[in-house]
Structure 1
Amino acid sequence: MKKYLPLFFIAGLMVACNGQDTTVSTTDTAHIEEPPSTGKVPVNTDTFSVGNKSFSIYPLEHSSFEKQGTPDYDSAEYSLLIDDKARVKRISDSLIFTLSNGKTTVLANNTKEEDDQYSIFFYAGYLPAIHQYLVFGSYYESSDYVLINADNGEITHVWGVPAISPDHKYVICASVDLIAGFNNNGFQLFSYRDNKLIPEGDVQFDKWGPGQMKWLDNKTVEAEYVVLDNDMNEVPKPVKLVMK
Structure 2
Amino acid sequence: MKYSLLILLAAIQFSCSKSGKTDNSNSNATDSLVNELTQFGKDAVTTGSPSEMLTIGSVRFQIFPSTKEEFNRIPSYKSDSNEVHCLQNTAGQVLRSNDSLIFKTLSKRTIVLKNDTVSEGDDYARYTLTDDLKSINQWLVFAIYYEAYDYILVDKSNGKQTHLIGLPVVSPTKKYVITVNEDLEAQFTFNGIELLESNGKSVKLIEQKEITDWAIREIKWLDNSTLLAHKIMIDKNHDIQESYIKLVITK
Which TM-score applies when normalising by structure 2?
Answer: 0.71
- Partner residue, 1:139: 145
2:99 aligned with 1:93: yes
Specify which structure has the higher proportion of helix: 2
Moved over 4 A (4+): 65-68, 229-235
- Partner residue, 1:157: 163
Paired residues in the alignment total: 201
How many angstroms does 1:67 deviate by? 11
Contact 1:65 1:212 in 2 (8 A): no
2:175 aligned with 1:169: yes
Identity %: 33
Matches of 2:201 and 2:152 in 1, distance apart?
A: 16
- Partner residue, 1:110: 116
How many angstroms does 1:47 deviate by? 1.6
CA change 1:81–1:233 in 2 (3 A) is: farther
Of residues 216, 222, 226, the one that matches 1:216 is: 222
2:146 aligned with 1:130: no
Q: Which amino acid aligns with 1:91?
A: S
CA change 1:193–1:82 in 2 (3 A) is: closer
Give the secondary-structure state (helix, strand or coil) at the position aligned to 1:216. Answer: strand
Matches of 2:74 and 2:202 in 1, distance apart?
A: 31
2:72 aligned with 1:64: yes
Q: Which amino acid aligns with 2:118?
A: K
In the TM superposition, what whole-angstrom CA distance separates every residue of 1:193-232 from its partner, at most 9, and x where no partner exists?
Answer: 2622122112111121112111111211111112235675
Contact 1:210 1:225 in 2 (8 A): yes
In the TM superposition, what whole-angstrom CA distance separates every residue of 1:11-63 from its partner, at most 9, and x where no partner exists?
Answer: xxxxxxxxxxxxxxxxxxxxxxxxxxxxxxxx997222111121221111222
Of residues 169, 174, 188, the one that matches 1:182 is: 188
How many angstroms does 1:80 deviate by? 2.1
- Partner residue, 1:243: 249
CA change 1:80–1:194 in 2 (3 A) is: closer
More deviation, 151-160/223-232: 223-232
The answer for unaligned runs of 5 or more in structure 1 is 4-42
Which TM-score applies when normalising by structure 1?
Answer: 0.73
How many angstroms does 1:146 deviate by? 0.5
Q: Which amino acid aligns with 2:72?
A: S
More deviation, 59-68/84-93: 59-68
2:89 aligned with 1:83: yes
Of residues 45, 52, 55, the one that matches 1:49 is: 55
The answer for unaligned runs of 5 or more in structure 2 is 4-38, 41-50
Give the secondary-structure state (helix, strand or coil) at the position aligned to 2:82. Answer: helix
Q: Which amino acid aligns with 1:121?
A: Y
- Partner residue, 2:7: none
How many angstroms does 1:124 deviate by? 0.8
Matches of 1:80 and 1:163 in 2, distance apart?
A: 18
In the TM superposition, what whole-angstrom CA distance separates every residue of 1:159-178 from its partner, at most 9, and x where no partner exists?
Answer: 11111111111111111111
Matches of 2:183 and 2:194 in 1, distance apart?
A: 14
How many angstroms does 1:140 deviate by? 0.9
